[in-house]
Structure 1
Amino acid sequence: MPFPTITEVKTFVVPGEGEGGDYHSQKAGHWIIGQISNPMSRYEQYKASRVSWGINVLGRQITASDGSVGFATGMGGPPSCWLVEQHFKRFLLGVDPRDTSILSDQMLRASMYYGRKGLVVATISVVDLALWDLVGKIRKEPVYKMIGGRTRDHLSFYCTGPLPAEAKRLGFWGGKVPLTWGPADGAEGMRKNYEELKKHRESGPDFPIMVDCYMSLTVQYAIELATMCLPLNITWWEEVLHPDAEGYEKLKAALPQLKWTTGEHEYTRYGFKKLLDTKSIDILQPDIMWCGGLTELLRITALASAYDVDVVCHGSGPYSYHFAVSQSNTPFTEASQIIICNAPDGKSVKPVFGNLFLNEVMPVNGRIEIEKFDAPGFGLELNPAIRLIDGAKLLNPDPEKPLGQAGQLLIIMMLSSRYNFFPLQLSQVHIALFTNVRNAPELRSRLIKASTMEGQEGENEREALNFAFVDAAPITSLLHLQTAIQQATLASTDGSLRTKTVHSEILWALNNSNNITESIKRFGVSDSTKSLFAVRVCGPEFAAGAVSMSMKATIQGDAVPFETLSQITDWPLVCKYYKVSGDPAVAELTKGGKQEPKRFPEAAKSIINEIVVSSVAMKNVMA
């Protein structure tokens, strides 16, 4: 019987916080999105949190002719969806999924003129992992048994997090901590780094502590800091420079007794060969979800073995676990592997991929027995309660409309604003305007149902609908809406909300009375709504691209420029809601009978807009 071939390739974007292994996307208060020295620390507007400059999670599903499905997750978001749909899919369809070597080679070579590193190789990595998962599912065999079998009986883990003493308590053999301050923080920042690491050493004189510098240091700064910390007995200094930087030879020459590690953000065997050729790297740390996938990682590992250099994967959960148990040069104390301390407080361990999978294997007392990895493929079962956004629909949401240029894929003419005077979790406002809305009744029904849904399904649905949906007909200007948004955000900040959320408060702020039900009826989405504003008030952990994708996935309509509002506003309706028909100036300008909405004199519109904006601005004062 012939082996099944690939019949379908699908891409997804995972929009939720903490799902899919995107360390840039976590809920407010999580330690990993706090101040950590990183490549963007030198820029003040991006220094506070990595969420201000990250990208989204990507999911990849490959189906075979026998109905078997392989799934993998990684980084890349919508741009990666485009690469797969428009370029890489052609190499996959109709092919035997066991041909991982040639498929990897074809994708790398076909994208060489615009790829070789970064997003392109990260996209290939997720495709490759999905292929290995699919083959394992078809053969009913775990991945590690297909690439060499077991080389040990269990995996031992160290834990990355802000509290190494907690890692020790949880049974991990070591703890890796993020460096908080970088060169931009000067001598005072270096002193703070030393004091913080000295405090971590209190976890025990012999407990291994590693420091993750996240590509943020210079050669001179790294030498000075590492020299200062020699009494602290740091086990290794990780990724002090970016992979393309020349300087690891200088680090090794200055402090040969220390271990220097890197590779998390390097790609393919060619990039790793350059690192190995420096003869300055003690441990390579490729990320299986970024470096080219499992197929390329096996090549990198074979290359490293010729230099007698150990390979210790960065993160990636079960994908890297299957690799580690099958390779003899992956451990340096039994099997050293990273598990990210995903709990917001850094005091416990949660799955690397959040709730994306139902059965992600977790360490107990810092170790996992190999028998836990014996399920087919990578042993991961997708959680049906997790909302996945279909990549194909993101790229071409309306079947009657052809796919535009790549640069147009995410543009829905969304206005994103930052308000530094509000708390971080309320500092970002994203607004988009849609016309020809075709699913208003469905949206209204979902909003009502979501309010009573329980469990994970309820949380996911409320997050999917976490917008203010504002009927555009009674809105006179963008300033009108923005004034209501600021009033609602202010109420949320000082604890004076009249409604349950900042988004429902926007509707209340727009209304001329204090009646909440009337506010929703007048300004919320109704079955007859044809034009709709979508508003999201959130923190910087929600990148503008992710918000725009979620809007487009939720609202079936045409995103239009805000100037279009002039053709939408129902001026008689505005006059009715705000009781401005009796204003002498408005009455004079509109005399002569009932005016059609689009035929109101411009002077009258200007006066009405001033009245309604003032009314909204003064509502909290008068309420």
Structure 2
Amino acid sequence: MLKDAPASGRPVPVRADHRIASVEAFQVSWRPGDVPGRRTAMVRVRTDTGLTGYGEASPMMGGEHSLLVVRHFSDSLVGADPFDQAVIQDRLLHRYIKLGPEGAVTGALAALDIALWDIKGKALGLPIYKLLGGAWRTKLPFYASIGGNAERSVDDVVRTVERRWRSETPAAIKIRWDGDRTRQDHDIPGDIAKAKAVRGLVGDDFPLAFDANNQYSVGGAIRVGRALEELGYIWFEEPVQHYNVRAMGEVAQRLDITVSAAEQTYTTQALVDMINAGVRMVQPDIVKMGGITGLMQCAAICFAHGVELVPHQTQPGIGHVANLHVLATLMHNTKPAEFADPDDRMHAAFENPPIPRNGCFDVPDGPGLGLRLRDEELDRRRT
């Protein structure tokens, strides 16, 4: 950021001599009895100039594994320049790479990266999307991601979908299965019947997607995919096990419906492997894939390969807003943003919680993430 030029004509840079003073990693339980997956894995970074940045790691198992990694490297960050977020990320990744480059380590780095971008924006008085090059749009439509349908009857699926459809007015709907991944092809006729019933509910033209959550064999996935094509679904998400990249690519190449994958991909190299296998819509998650820095790298990869980037995102908090800032900067933003959890349990910790209106989220235009958090509420809910 540059101030107005003085009479000499030379711009005067805004100083950014901030240093990291502390890094905290803790879990927030929003309501009594919250299971780990309903908690938030939080990282809070403070500078010696009084700025505070907030980040979030993947909520899988409460993010405890990633929080442990953050605690391991927190002391080494004291005194570092928060503007060096990319250098910090690469240095820490390679210091802890023997723990495995995917999962706990990349989730920890994602949370830290988001917090450092938040600080950078606050230091410069700009929203993150401005630091990333500017927004093509600051109002983003969302799709309602509706899970738990593996165990529901057809009628229950229709009732659940109708409730979200009527109350949220989303731009699209994705029905998720969330079933037992150890059982392949468990009830293909029942799954197709549920997909047909949802299409009957919303009509022929409303955009629908189907998330199998990795529950089919290659043959089963092709059978379901053909039915989804007939029903006019626009994408088929993770039809086979995510770690079987060859099989995911085979299904993608044999179906006309767009097959998506990569929400469980944690490195850019693994993302390229998925694309090279034949997947043409990828869904890395900002709280797993190196934060804002990592997701912007994914955007460049997708642009170069002509692949759709539709990031996965579950909890409507810090990670969600960070994701919106990235999405705002994408020229080819082909699908709505994911909104998987309409619960308001986190709102107590935000002065301005991210709430959709008329089927859209507004990207905050305040400094950094643009979120105003209440530290006293976070601390009160720490576990």
Per-residue displacement from partner, 1:395-423 (whole Å, max 9, x unpaired)? xxxxxxxxxxxxxxxxxxxxxxxxxxxxx
| Offset from partner CA, 1:529-588 (integer Å, 9 cap, x none) | xxxxxxxxxxxxxxxxxxxxx5xxxxxxxxxxxxxxxxxxxxxxxxxxxxxxxxxxxxxx
- Structure-1 residue corresponding to 2:334: 332
What CA distance in whole angstroms lies between the structure 2 residues aligned with 1:115 and 1:332?
32
User: 1:302, CA displacement in angstroms?
Assistant: 0.6
In the TM superposition, what are the counterparts of 1:236-255 in structure 2 within 5 Å? 236-245=235-244, 246-255=246-255
TM-score by length of 1: 0.52
Pairing 1:342–2:333 present: no
Confirm or deny: 8 A CA contact 1:88 1:107 kept in the other structure.
Answer: no
Q: Secondary structure at the match of 1:195?
A: helix
Q: Distance in 1 between matches of 2:185 and 2:16?
A: 66
Partner of 2:357: 364
SS in 1 for 2:296: helix
Render the CA deviation track for 1:475-533: whole Å, top value 9, x for unaligned.
xxxxxxxxxxxxxxxxxxxxxxxxxxxxxxxxxxxxxxxxxxxxxxxxxxxxxxxxxxx
Q: Distance in 2 between matches of 1:5 and 1:62?
A: 10
**Aligned equivalent of 1:71:** 54
Root-mean-square deviation (CA, aligned residues, Å) is: 2.6
Equivalent residue letter for 2:356: P
Asked if residue 7 in structure 1 is aligned to residue 16 in structure 2, the reply is no
Within the candidate set 296, 303, 322, 2:301 is matched to 303
User: Matches of 1:186 and 1:79 in 2, distance apart?
Assistant: 29
* Counterpart secondary structure, 1:317: helix
SS in 1 for 2:377: coil
Match of 1:86 in 2: 72
8 Å contact from structure 1 (residues 161, 176) kept in 2? yes
Cα shift at 1:215: 2.6
Higher relative contact order structure (alpha carbons within 8 Å, sequence separation ≥ 6): 2
Match status 1:282 vs 2:280: yes
Matched, 1:140 2:131: no
Equivalent residue number for residue 321 of structure 2? 318
Asked whether the 8 Å contact 2:107–2:287 carries over to 1, the reply is yes
Counterpart in the other structure of 2:151: none
- SS in structure 1 of the partner of residue 27 of structure 2: strand
TM-score by length of 2: 0.82
The CA distance in 1 between the partners of 2:40 and 2:362, in whole Å, is 29
Looking at structure 2, the residues matched to 271 and 355 of structure 1 have their Cα atoms a distance apart, in angstroms, of 37
Determine the structure 2 residue equivalent to 1:379.
Answer: 370
Equivalent position to 2:103, from 118, 142, 146: 118
Alpha-carbon distance in 2 for matches of 1:292, 1:18: 30
Identity %: 23
CA distance in 2, matches of 1:188, 1:11: 40
CA contact (8 A) 1:167 1:174 kept: no
* SS of equivalent to 2:264: coil
Q: Kindly tell me: are residues 172 and 2 of structure 1, through their superposed partners in 2, closer, same or farther at Cα, counting changes over 3 Å?
A: closer
Q: Does 1:222 align with 2:225?
A: no
Q: Distance in 2 between matches of 1:356 and 1:312?
A: 28
For 1:79 and 1:183, the matched residues in 2 are separated by 22
1:78-121 Cα distance to aligned partner (Å, 9 max, x none): 4333322223541x221211111111111111111222001111
Tell me, which stretches of 5 or more residues in structure 2 are unaligned? 1-14, 148-159, 314-318
SS at match of 2:233: coil
Which letter does structure 1 place at the counterpart of 2:353? Answer: E
Q: Deviations over 1:444-487 (max 9, x none)?
A: xxxxxxxxxxxxxxxx6xxx9xxxxxxxxxxxxxxxxxxxxxxx
2:37 corresponds in structure 1 to 24
Structure 1 CA distance for aligned equivalents of residues 109 and 177 of structure 2: 31
CA apart distance, 1:165: 3.5
For residues 9 and 253 of structure 1, do their structure 2 counterparts lie closer, same or farther at Cα, with a shift above 3 Å needed?
closer
* Inter-partner Cα distance in structure 1 for 2:180 and 2:70: 37
User: Contact (CA 8 Å) 1:183, 1:221: kept in 2 or not?
Assistant: no
Residue 397 (structure 1) aligns with:
none
Q: 1:189 — aligned with what?
A: 187
Aligned counterparts of 2:257 and 2:206: Cα–Cα separation in 1: 16
Aligned length: 346
Q: Which amino acid aligns with 2:193?
A: E
The amino acid across from 1:151 in the alignment is: W
Cα separation, 1, equivalents of 2:25 and 2:37: 20
> Which of 1 and 2 has greater Rg?
1
Please say if residues 125 and 292 of structure 1, whose CA atoms lie closer than 8 Å, have aligned partners that are also in contact: yes
Of 61, 68, 91, the match for 2:44: 61
Aligned to 2:212: 213
Deviation at residue 212 of structure 1 after TM alignment = 1.4
Deviation for aligned residue 1:273? 0.9
Residue type of the alignment partner of 2:321: P
One-letter amino acid of the counterpart of residue 236, structure 2? W
